[in-house]
């Protein structure tokens, strides 16, 4: 019985963990692209703000919001 509960709990939490791990990958891609990005000052500031917002949301546990923010930054960078 305990094994079944453990397996059920693992399966229930596995997608959350997989989703949470996507945020750091997205942040790393943004960080790698920033030095070579050819954006206006305003767009560069916006990308950096979205990147910071994404990290803060990730740290607070809002992975959906984090992915949305980071996804917008990646789109602006052409990633």
User: What per-residue confidence (pLDDT) applies to 17?
Assistant: 47
Report the C-alpha gap between 14 and 20 in whole angstroms. 10
pTM to 2 decimals? Answer: 0.74
Domain that holds residue 44: 2-77
Residue 22: partners with Cβ closer than 8 Å, 6 or more residues away: 63, 67
Report the C-alpha gap between 66 and 62 in whole angstroms. 6
Per residue in 6-30, pLDDT (tens digit) is: 555 555 555 554 445 789 999 999 9
72 has a pLDDT exceeding 90 = yes
Domain count, the chain: 1
Do 70 and 50 meet the contact criterion of CB atoms below 8 Å apart? yes
């Amino acid at each position: 019985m305990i094994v079944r509960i453990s397996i059920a709990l693992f399966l229930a939490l596995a997608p959350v963990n997989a989703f949470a791990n996507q945020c750091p990958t997205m942040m790393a891609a943004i960080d790698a692209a920033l030095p070579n990005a050819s954006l206006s000052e305003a767009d560069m500031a916006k990308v950096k703000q979205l990147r910071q917002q994404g990290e803060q949301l990730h740290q607070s546990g809002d992975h959906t919001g984090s992915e949305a923010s980071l996804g917008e930054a990646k789109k602006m960078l052409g990633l």
